Structure 1
Amino acid sequence: MSQEMVYVEQCKDPNGLDKIILREIRGFSAQVYLYGGQVTSWKNEHGEELLFVSSKANFKPPKPIRGGIPICFPQFSNHGSLEQHGFARNRFWTLDPNPPPFSTNSHYRAFIDLILKNSEEDTKTWPHRFEFRLRITLGPGGDLMLTSRIRNTNTDGKSFTFTFAYHTYFSVTDISEVRVEGLETLDYLDNLKNRERFTEQGDAITFESEMDKVYLGTPTKIAIIDHERKRTYVLRKDGLPDAVVWNPWDKKSKALPDFGDEEYKHMLCVQSASIEKAITLKPGEEWKGRQEISAVASSYCSGQLDPQQVAMETNA
Structure 2
Amino acid sequence: MYVAKPASDLLEPYETLVREIRRRHYTVVPDAQSPLADEGSAVQGAIRSALAQAELSIHFIGERRGYKPDGLDVGIVSLQLAEAAGEVARRPDFHRLIWIPTIVPDAENAAVGEAAANVRDPLRILAQLDTLLETDEIEGDTAARFNEFVIQRLEARTPAKPQELHRAATIYLAAAPVDLKLAIEAGKRLKEHGQKVLIFPSDTDYSLASRADHLAFCWGEADEIAVMEALDRLDSSEWRRLRPDGKLHLIVFGPDNDIKKIAREIESFGAADFVVDAANLGERGLIAELSGSTVG
For normalisation by structure 1, the TM-score amounts to 0.25
Higher relative contact order (CA 8 A, sep 6+): 1
When you count helix as a share of all residues, which structure comes out higher? 2
